[in-house]
Structure 1
Amino acid sequence: MIRSDIDHDAAIEAAVEQLDLDAKTSLLAGRDVWSLPALPQVGLRSIVMSDGPVGVRGVRWAGDDPSVALPSPTALAATWDPDLAERAGRLLAQEARRKGVDVLLAPTVNLHRSPLGGRHFECYSEDPYLTGVIGTGFVRGVQEGGVAATVKHFVANDAETDRFTVDNAVAARPLRELYLAPFEAIVRDARPWAIMAAYNSVNGTTMTEHRELVGGVLRGEWGFDGCVVSDWLAARSTEGALRGGLDIAMPGPVTVYGAQLADAVRAGRVDEADVDDAVRRVLRLAARVGALAAVPPAVPADRLPAPIDGRALAREIACRGVVLVRNAELDGRPALPLDAAGLRHVAVLGRAAIDARILGGGSATVYPEQVVSPLDGLTAALPDTTVTFAVGADPSDEMGEAGAGFALRAVVRDAAGETIGTYPLPNGSITWLGEVPEGVTYDALHSVEIAGTFTPRDSGEHAFGTKGLGEHELVVDGTVLFAGTQEFSGDQLEGFFAPPVERGRVALSAGTPVEVSLTYTPVKSAEIPLPVVVFGLAHSEPERDPGDMIDEAVAAAAEAEAAIVVVATTERVESEGFDRTDLELPGRQNELVARVAAVNPRTIVVVNAGSPVAMPWRDDVAAVLLGWFPGQEAGAALADVLLGHQEPGGRLPTTWPATLADAPVTEVTPVEGVLPYSEGVFIGYRAWDRGDNAPAYPFGHGTGYTTWEYDSISGDANTVTVRLRNTGDRHGREIVQIYLTPGDDSVPRPRRWLAGFAPVEAAAGASVDISIPLPLRAFEIWDETSNAWTTIPGEYRIDAARSFTDSRVAMHVTVG
Structure 2
Amino acid sequence: MTPATLVDGLTLEEQVSLLSGADFWSTPAIGRLGIGSLRVTDGPNGARGAGSWIGAISAAAFPVGISLGATWDRSLLSEIGAALAEEVKDKGAHVLLGPTVNLQRGALNGRNFECYAEDPVLTAALAVAYIGGLQGQRVGATVKHFVANESEFQRTTMSSEVDERTLRELYLVPFEAAVKEAHAWAVMSSYNRLNGTFTSEHGWLLTDVLRRQWGFDGVVMSDWFGSHSTAETMRAGLDLEMPGPTRDRGAALVRAVEAGTVPRDAVRQAALNMLRLMQRTGALQDARPHEEKAVEREATRALIRRAGARGTVLLTNDGTLPLAGVGKIAVIGPNAKAARCMGGGSSQLKAHRQVSPWEGLAAAVGEGALLFAPGCDNHRYAPELAGPLRAEWFANDDFSGTPVHVETLAVAHAMMIDAPAGGRVDPKRFSLRITGRYVPEADGRHRIGVYAAGRARVLVDGCEVVEAWESWTRGSTFFEEGCDERIGEVEMAVGRSCEIVILFQPVETTLMAFSAYHVGIGLPMADAEIAEAVRVAAEAQVAVLCVGRNGEWDSEGADLPSMTLPGRQNELIEAVAAVAERTVVVLQTGGPVEMPWVGKVSAVVQAWYPGQEAGHAVADVLLGHVEPGGRLPQSFPHRLDDTQTQGGGGLSYPGVEGRVRYAEGLLVGYRHHEANAIAPLFPFGHGLGYAAIDIEAMVVEGDTFSASATVALRVTLANRGQRKGSQVVQVYVSPDAAPVERPPSELKAFTRIDLSPGETGDVVLRLDPRDFAWYCTRRSGWIVSPGEYALRAGLSADDRRFVATVARQGELVLPV
TM, length-normalised to structure 1: 0.88
Question: 2:83 aligned with 1:99, yes or no?
Answer: no
* Separation of aligned partners in 2, 1:163 and 1:684: 21
Shift of 1:655: 0.6
Equivalent in the alignment of 1:319: 309
* Equivalent position to 2:22, from 17, 26, 31: 31
Tell me the SS of whatever aligns to 2:624: coil
Equivalent in the alignment of 2:705: none
| One-letter code aligned to 1:284 | R
* Separation of aligned partners in 2, 1:572 and 1:497: 15
Question: 2:704 aligned with 1:713, yes or no?
Answer: no
| 1:75-106 C-alpha deviation (Å, 9 max, x unpaired) | 10000001111222222221111112222111
Change over 3 Å in CA distance of 1:309–1:505 after alignment to 2? farther
Shift of 1:645: 0.5
* Equivalent position to 2:209, from 205, 213, 217: 217
* Separation of aligned partners in 1, 2:446 and 2:302: 36
Shift of 1:649: 0.4
* Separation of aligned partners in 2, 1:483 and 1:696: 44
Equivalent in the alignment of 1:12: 3
Question: 2:164 aligned with 1:172, yes or no?
Answer: yes
Equivalent positions of 1:256-655 (< 5 A) are: 256-293=248-285, 309-328=299-318, 334-339=319-324, 342-383=325-366, 385-396=368-379, 398-402=381-385, 408=388, 425=410, 427-434=411-418, 440-443=422-425, 468=452, 487=469, 489-491=472-474, 498-499=484-485, 506-509=492-495, 523=505, 532=514, 534-540=516-522, 542-544=523-525, 546-655=526-635
Change over 3 Å in CA distance of 1:501–1:310 after alignment to 2? farther
| 1:307-363 C-alpha deviation (Å, 9 max, x unpaired) | 7733222211211111111002xxxxx110011xx2221111111212233222221
Change over 3 Å in CA distance of 1:730–1:286 after alignment to 2? same
* Equivalent position to 1:150, from 142, 146, 154: 142
* Separation of aligned partners in 2, 1:12 and 1:127: 38
Shift of 1:453: 8.7
| 1:654-709 C-alpha deviation (Å, 9 max, x unpaired) | 11100111223333222333322222211111111111320100010001101123
> Which has the larger displacement, 29-38 or 726-735?
29-38
Change over 3 Å in CA distance of 1:166–1:515 after alignment to 2? closer
Equivalent in the alignment of 1:680: 665
Equivalent in the alignment of 1:5: none
Shift of 1:290: 1.3
* Separation of aligned partners in 2, 1:193 and 1:442: 37
* Separation of aligned partners in 2, 1:677 and 1:475: 46
Question: 2:129 aligned with 1:134, yes or no?
Answer: no
* Separation of aligned partners in 2, 1:539 and 1:343: 38
Tell me the SS of whatever aligns to 1:396: coil
* Equivalent position to 1:21, from 12, 20, 25: 12
Change over 3 Å in CA distance of 1:430–1:518 after alignment to 2? farther
* Separation of aligned partners in 2, 1:774 and 1:534: 50
Tell me the SS of whatever aligns to 2:803: strand
Tell whether the 8 Å contact from 1:463 to 1:506 is kept in structure 2 after alignment. no
Shift of 1:633: 1.5
| One-letter code aligned to 1:53 | P
Tell whether the 8 Å contact from 1:564 to 1:603 is kept in structure 2 after alignment. yes
Tell whether the 8 Å contact from 2:773 to 2:784 is kept in structure 1 after alignment. yes
Change over 3 Å in CA distance of 1:687–1:463 after alignment to 2? closer
Change over 3 Å in CA distance of 1:584–1:285 after alignment to 2? same
Tell whether the 8 Å contact from 1:247 to 1:282 is kept in structure 2 after alignment. yes
Shift of 1:281: 0.5
Tell whether the 8 Å contact from 1:609 to 1:629 is kept in structure 2 after alignment. yes
Change over 3 Å in CA distance of 1:695–1:776 after alignment to 2? same
Shift of 1:457: 6.8
* Separation of aligned partners in 1, 2:388 and 2:626: 36
Tell whether the 8 Å contact from 2:50 to 2:56 is kept in structure 1 after alignment. no
Equivalent in the alignment of 2:797: 804
| 1:562-618 C-alpha deviation (Å, 9 max, x unpaired) | 111121124453322233342111111111111211112411111111011111111
Question: 2:643 aligned with 1:663, yes or no?
Answer: yes
| One-letter code aligned to 1:434 | D
Change over 3 Å in CA distance of 1:422–1:142 after alignment to 2? farther
Change over 3 Å in CA distance of 1:172–1:470 after alignment to 2? closer
Shift of 1:637: 1.0
Equivalent in the alignment of 1:6: none
Tell whether the 8 Å contact from 1:473 to 1:480 is kept in structure 2 after alignment. no
Q: Which segments of 5 or more consecutive residues in structure 2 lack a partner in the other structure?
A: 289-295, 396-400, 647-651, 703-709, 811-816
Tell whether the 8 Å contact from 1:712 to 1:723 is kept in structure 2 after alignment. yes
* Separation of aligned partners in 1, 2:722 and 2:441: 44
Equivalent in the alignment of 1:813: 806
* Separation of aligned partners in 1, 2:653 and 2:457: 41
| 1:450-470 C-alpha deviation (Å, 9 max, x unpaired) | 789978776777666665467
* Separation of aligned partners in 1, 2:226 and 2:631: 35
* Separation of aligned partners in 2, 1:529 and 1:806: 47
| One-letter code aligned to 1:58 | G
Equivalent in the alignment of 1:60: 51
* Separation of aligned partners in 2, 1:740 and 1:531: 48
| One-letter code aligned to 2:695 | Y
Q: Which segments of 5 or more consecutive residues in structure 1 lack a partner in the other structure?
A: 1-9, 297-305, 329-333
Shift of 1:533: 5.8
* Separation of aligned partners in 1, 2:233 and 2:226: 10
| One-letter code aligned to 2:335 | A
Tell whether the 8 Å contact from 2:48 to 2:56 is kept in structure 1 after alignment. no
Shift of 1:182: 0.8
* Equivalent position to 2:758, from 747, 765, 769: 765
* Separation of aligned partners in 1, 2:418 and 2:500: 25
* Separation of aligned partners in 2, 1:761 and 1:158: 34
| One-letter code aligned to 2:560 | R
| One-letter code aligned to 1:507 | A
Tell whether the 8 Å contact from 2:736 to 2:790 is kept in structure 1 after alignment. yes
* Separation of aligned partners in 2, 1:528 and 1:672: 18
Shift of 1:260: 1.4
Equivalent in the alignment of 1:735: 728
The Cα RMSD (Å) is 3.2
Identity, % of aligned positions: 38
| 1:272-299 C-alpha deviation (Å, 9 max, x unpaired) | 1111111111111111121212999xxx
Equivalent in the alignment of 1:299: none
Tell whether the 8 Å contact from 1:796 to 1:812 is kept in structure 2 after alignment. yes
Tell me the SS of whatever aligns to 2:641: helix
